[in-house]
Each structure stands twice: as C-alpha cells, then as structure tokens.
C-alpha cells in the first residue's frame, strides 16, 4: 500500500509547486521541444479572475526517478513577456503528473505556458486565459461535451473544434460533463480502436481495479492527439460521471452485480487518478464552496450496512469533493455538481426491478419508481428507506443557496445525468406491447423524481430565472423545458449533449432490443429499414410521439409533414431529440439570450481514424436553439444541413 505521507507530500509539491529549489537549471542548457517527455501534453483548468490551474505529465530522465523543471507563463506566444516562472518537481507517487495553481494574474488575461525539464526538454506550448472580472459584460462562448469512449470512436468533434479555432472561431473554455475515461475495456470485434491492459500474470478483471489501472486509462485516452491538443488549446471545466469510477455506481458501490458490491478501495483509487490527471481547482476557491482537494486515506472494501463499511464509504466518497462554483463575468455563473458520490442507491431494489424489466435500471414503470423513491414518505410498509437523493443534503443545500445568491445573467448547472423526463408509453419486457408509462433510464433523474420536483419548485418559489442545465450521459442530443409536463410547470431549460465517441443511444438500444425481440412491431418501434437499406431511428418518433402513433406511421410508410406539425408530444417538455448522434455542442451566453448549437457526427464518422494530414471531417448537420432571457422556454430547432428523423429541414 502507498505510504500516506509520501503521497501527500508528492501531491502537495505538484499542486503548489515547490519554491525552495535553486535557480532554474534549464536556463543554462540548450532547450529542445520534447513531446516524448510530455506524452500526455499540457492542459489547463478552472480559470478564475486571478488564476488558473496548469498541468502536464513530465517523464524523468531516468526511469523510476524524479523529474524536475519549471513552468513558464507569458502573455505572448514567443515568451518575451514572462509573468510567471515557477519550479516544479514530480515523481512516481503522482505518476509524474504536475498541477500548478497559478494566482496573481489579471482578469481576462490571455496566457501561453510551457514546462521545461532541468535538462532543457520542453513541452508543447499551451494556451489558456483567466476569467473576466465579475462585472464584465462581455459575451461568453464555450463548448460542452461528454462521454468519450476510446474504443468505440475517434475524436472528430475535438478536431473540428481545433479547426474552428484556427479559422478564428474562438472559445473561452470547454465544459466537460463526465465519462472522461471508461473503466471497462471491451474485448470484442468491430471496435474503432484497440485498448488493452498492461500484461499481467494470470487472469484479470475487465474493469479498472487498482490505481495503476485507472492511471493506465488516463494515459491511454490522453495519447489521442486531438483530445490532447484541445486540452492544450482551451481551459477545461470538468465534472465526472460514473465511468471515471464504475458504471452506474452510487457512492462507493459498484453495480456490475445488480445487488451492488462495496468498492471503497476502487473509489479511492479512481478519485486519486482523476485528481492527478484533471486540472481542477478545488481547495482554495473564493466564496461559498463545497469542493476540496484529494486527501488519501486507507480504506478497505466492506458492506455499507456495517459500521466499518459505512465509515470507509464516507472516507472514500469525501476523499475528493468536486462540486464548485466558477464565475465568468456578469453573464455566467457555473455550478459544477457531482451526481455520483452522494446519491442514494437506485430506487427500485434490483430483485424487484428484474421482475419488471430485462435490466435493473431501464424500462421500469414510472409509478413503481415514484413509490420507491418516496421512501418512507410513501407510507408503504414494503418501502423502508429514506427519500431518494441525487445530490445528498449538503450538496443540494449548497447548490440552492448558491443559485439564490447569484446575480449573473445566466446560471448554468453542470450535471452528469439529465433531469429531463425521458419515458416511453409502453413496456415490452413480456414480449408484447403493454401500455404502461416507463422510464427509459432510472440512473438519471427519472430514478429520483422527488428531488427533481423539489429542485424545480425551489427555482420557482425563489424566482430564480435563467437557469440552464447542461448535461450528457445519455449519448444523444436533446433539449427540453424542465418542469413542463410535471406538477410544477416550466421552471428552467436543459440541453443534453451526445457522446464525443461513445456509442449513441439509438444504436445501443436498437442492438439490445433486436437481440431480445428479433421480429414483430417491438423492434420496428426502435428502427426500420430506410429506402437505401439503412437503419432509420424510429426511436426518436417513439419517444416524442408515443408507440401507437409511431406504429401507425410505420404501417403507412412514414409520417407526412402535416402529421408531424399537428402531432401531440408525449414527453411534453422535449423540444429536440436526436438519438442517432455523436458530437459536441456550442453555447453562447449574452445579455438577452442563451444560444446552443448542436454539431452532429455520424456513426460512420466515428469508425474512421482521424489521421494527421488528412482533411478534418465536418459535422453532418447542425441544430440551433435559443433560450430568451427571463422565460423558461426555447425556440423551435433550426436545422442546418439536414434534420434527424422524423423532423424535416425547412
């Protein structure tokens, strides 16, 4: 086991940069650009008015030894105007990562930075910036992204952002909404890229177990040149979802086994690796904050219903606390949340869920979810548990308090899972279509409806306007007016972004359903053959308009334009849905509007390598939506370059 004191010293040195080292040796030796010394590139994160976190991974001259050097920050690309020069040192206890919190900068300052090892080996130059002053009225432009499985696709969306940047379309930052890595490695054919664990003696699990496993994944993902360059081009503001630890996890519990497996040791390892590889400012942020830097502790896997297990769970989940608030001028307050570490277990017990569905977290009756989520408040003797929570009491109180205090034009809640209701009006788990309202995925807020309603009612009661939730996880683009169709009415807006590369929702669901139900109407409600034999995403229609109307359109061949304009939406809050999408989204916050532009890449794009020197792949289509200031509503989607089925482009 790692010595706790050794690791804390290593993390402290890399975080705050040791200043007691002598004058920089690299000044006296010839410099050379040495990307092999910095195989994961450089990055920056969490800009404030007067600071930013700068990051790299610097390999040592001799394997296993320490690596020393210094950081240079300048206001010009030629580094003639140096404003920061700081010693850094790292070693194997931090996997040779370096994170430096730079303070004392000016608001709105554009920065160039690089790292130089003592022998003159120099990193690529990164670009970053500080946030504007809190009263700055400048517009804010950023990208938001999530879900970048290395094996299932190539990072064409990142390459497109870089191409836009070269053409003068700049961004202020990139907001990353979770699933930076995937803890599982798939051993199957038909994947876009190979990924393997380092050679070990004997059999091993298909998922990350140790700190070295998680580090291996970060190193591999960051070997991709387009992800690496995007992190070097703009600061990232990052949260995690489940795959940085374990799929569909809650607190420190893994759910590969539906009954749940205590995994406090894995949670500690996952948190440490995230802290090492993601430049995030946690401790030391100004104002009312919840976040805190990583703190190593010894934990042992143990059932949470024992005193030892409960204590280990508390230690593991609080070893790194990431919810925080970052300000971007007068226009934007960002509230970065954690939807994993403090949530309660999934509402329906797994043994009951598997009586109702083929999956413990999918296609489950909404009425049953509400009963279990209400806990003892349901006054049901079968339900003996507290009311469900996604955030936990402390984080939820901090979020409510912070939103109420904010005077920014727009308040952006960064969520790793959607709030939007995403339901079907039927179940098919008994191999027949039955008209029952079912939630498609109870791992999101559809599994925690009481807290969703509580939060939206709070926004209304406190007259908190211009709240926009940005989220990912579901591997599809969609937008909605939150609260419409619920017991509170419209309260805010939500925009969900598809995965950068993770297999999209339509293809995952279509494959799964066709394997279980190869014939009849059930699989056709998800996809059907188009004129050229391609699979058409009828799932979009089923979600938007319901199974009966979709079945009628299927029998007729296709919906006509008039039918689409008059058809009543089932999920009434939804304004746009594209389940067969990959990509990224762009946002612009101004004094009177919040604009979102979805960029769509295809499955065929995902399978094509993004080779240096070859033309970059452009988005197949785009969708633009606007939120007006002061009203929880959205414009109709504007389609550019085509529309997803069943929409039609003007």
Q: Residue 585: helix, strand or coil by DSSP?
A: strand
Handedness of CA 203, 204, 210, 215 (dihedral sign): positive
Our CA angle for 591, 46, 10, nearest 5°, is 175
Nearest to 623 by CA among 451, 498, 534: 498
Q: What is the largest CA-CA distance in the chain?
A: 79
> 608 in a domain, yes or no?
no
Domain count of the fold of the chain: 1
> 120 in a domain, yes or no?
yes
Q: What is the pLDDT of residues 88-130, one digit of tens each?
A: 999 999 999 999 999 999 999 999 999 999 999 999 999 999 9
pLDDT at 427 over 80: yes
Q: CB neighbours of 573 closer than 8 A, spacing ≥ 6?
A: 420, 421, 480, 481, 482, 483, 484, 485, 486, 490
> 13 in a domain, yes or no?
yes
What pLDDT does residue 202 have? 66
> 482 in a domain, yes or no?
no
In terms of DSSP bridges, do strands 253-254 and 261-262 run parallel, antiparallel, or are they unpaired? antiparallel
Where does the pLDDT of residue 165 fall: very low under 50, low under 70, confident under 90, or very high at 90 and above? confident
Q: What is the pLDDT of residues 5-53, one digit of tens each?
A: 444 444 543 443 333 334 455 567 899 999 999 999 999 999 999 999 9
**C-alpha 647 chain-centroid distance:** 27
pLDDT at 198 over 50: yes
Q: CB neighbours of 255 closer than 8 A, spacing ≥ 6?
A: 246, 247, 248, 249, 261, 346, 360, 361
> 32 in a domain, yes or no?
yes
Q: CB neighbours of 277 closer than 8 A, spacing ≥ 6?
A: 40, 55, 57, 97, 215, 218, 222
Domain that holds residue 111: 1-130
Among the listed ranges 99-113, 249-263, 379-393, 485-499, which one has the minimum average pLDDT value? 379-393
56 close to 42: Cβ distance less than 8 angstroms: yes
Say which CATH number the domain at 73 has.
2.60.40.380
What pLDDT does residue 23 have? 46
64 close to 90: Cβ distance less than 8 angstroms: no
> 630 in a domain, yes or no?
no
Nearest to 236 by CA among 137, 133, 322, 154: 322
- pTM of the entire structure? 0.96
In terms of DSSP bridges, do strands 492-496 and 467-471 run parallel, antiparallel, or are they unpaired? parallel
Using the CB atoms, write b or e for 197-216: b if 16+ within 10 Å.
beeeeeeeeebbbebebbbb
Q: Kindly report the length of the chain.
A: 650
89 close to 36: Cβ distance less than 8 angstroms: no
Our CA angle for 237, 243, 249, nearest 5°, is 115
> 56 in a domain, yes or no?
yes
> 365 in a domain, yes or no?
no
412 close to 326: Cβ distance less than 8 angstroms: no
Mean pLDDT of the 369-391 span: 89
Q: What is the pLDDT of residues 227-241, one digit of tens each?
A: 999 999 999 999 999
Q: Residue 528: helix, strand or coil by DSSP?
A: strand
């Amino acid at each position: 086991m790692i010595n706790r004191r050794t690791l804390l010293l290593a993390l402290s040195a890399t975080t705050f940069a040791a200043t007691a080292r002598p004058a920089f040796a690299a000044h006296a030796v010839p410099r050379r650009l040495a990307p092999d010394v910095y195989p994961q590139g450089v990055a920056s994160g969490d800009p404030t008015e007067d600071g930013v976190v700068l990051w790299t991974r610097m390999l040592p001259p001799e394997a296993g030894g320490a690596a020393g050097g210094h950081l240079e920050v300048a206001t010009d690309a030629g580094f003639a105007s140096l404003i920061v020069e700081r010693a850094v040192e790292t070693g194997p206890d931090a996997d040779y990562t370096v994170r430096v919190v730079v303070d004392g900068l000016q608001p709105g300052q554009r920065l160039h930075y690089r790292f130089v090892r003592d022998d003159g080996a120099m990193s690529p130059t990164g670009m970053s910036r500080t946030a504007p002053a809190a009263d700055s009225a400048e517009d804010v432009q950023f990208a938001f992204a999530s879900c970048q499985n290395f094996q299932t696709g190539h990072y064409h969306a990142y390459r497109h952002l870089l191409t836009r940047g070269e053409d003068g379309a700049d961004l202020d930052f990139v907001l990353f909404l979770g699933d930076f890595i995937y803890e599982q490695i798939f051993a199957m054919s038909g994947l876009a890229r190979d990924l393997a664990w380092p050679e070990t003696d004997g059999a091993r699990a298909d998922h990350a177990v140790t700190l070295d496993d998680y580090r291996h994944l970060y190193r591999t993902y960051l070997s991709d040149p387009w992800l690496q360059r995007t992190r070097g081009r703009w600061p990232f503001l990052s949260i995690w979802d489940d795959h940085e630890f374990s799929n569909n996890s809650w607190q420190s519990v893994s759910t590969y086994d539906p009954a749940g497996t205590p995994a406090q040791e894995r949670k500690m390892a996952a948190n440490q690796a995230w802290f090492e590889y993601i430049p995030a400012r946690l401790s030391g942020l100004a104002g009312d904050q919840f976040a805190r830097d990583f703190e190593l502790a010894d934990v042992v896997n143990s059932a949470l219903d024992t005193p030892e297990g409960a204590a280990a769970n508390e230690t593991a989940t609080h070893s790194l606390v990431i919810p925080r608030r970052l300000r971007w001028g007068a226009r934007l307050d960002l509230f970065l949340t954690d939807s994993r570490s403090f949530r309660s277990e999934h509402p329906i017990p797994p043994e009951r869920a598997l009586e109702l569905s083929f999956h413990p977290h999918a296609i489950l009756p909404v009425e049953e979810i509400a009963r279990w989520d209400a806990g003892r408040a349901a006054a049901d003797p079968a339900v003996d548990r507290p009311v469900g929570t996604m955030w936990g009491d402390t984080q939820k109180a901090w979020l409510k308090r912070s939103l109420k205090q904010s005077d920014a034009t727009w308040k952006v809640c960064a969520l790793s899972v959607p709030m939007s209701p995403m339901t079907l009006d039927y179940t098919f788990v008994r191999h027949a279509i039955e008209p029952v309202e079912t939630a498609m995925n109870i791992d999101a807020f559809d599994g925690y409806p009481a807290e969703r309603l509580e939060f939206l009612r709070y926004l209304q009661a406190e007259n908190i306007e211009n709240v926009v939730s940005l989220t990912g996880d579901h591997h599809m683009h969609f937008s909605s007016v939150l609260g419409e169709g619920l017991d509170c009415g419209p309260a805010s807006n939500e925009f969900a972004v598809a995965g950068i590369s993770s297999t999209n929702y339509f293809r995952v669901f279509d494959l799964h359903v066709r394997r279980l139900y190869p014939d009849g109407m059930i699989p056709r409600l998800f996809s059907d053959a188009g004129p050229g034999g391609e699979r058409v995403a009828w799932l979009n229609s089923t979600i938007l308009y319901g199974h009966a109307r979709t079945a009628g359109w299927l029998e007729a061949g296709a919906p006509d334009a008039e039918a689409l304009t008059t058809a009543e939406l089932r999920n009434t809050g939804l304004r746009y849905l594209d389940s067969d999408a990959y990509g990224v989204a762009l946002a612009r916050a101004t004094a009177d509007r919040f604009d979102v532009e979805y960029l769509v890449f295809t499955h065929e794009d995902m399978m094509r390598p993004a080779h240096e020197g070859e033309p970059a792949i452009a988005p197949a289509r785009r969708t633009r939506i606007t939120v007006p200031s002061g009203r929880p509503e959205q414009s109709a989607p504007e389609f550019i370059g085509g529309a997803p089925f069943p929409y039609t482009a003007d």
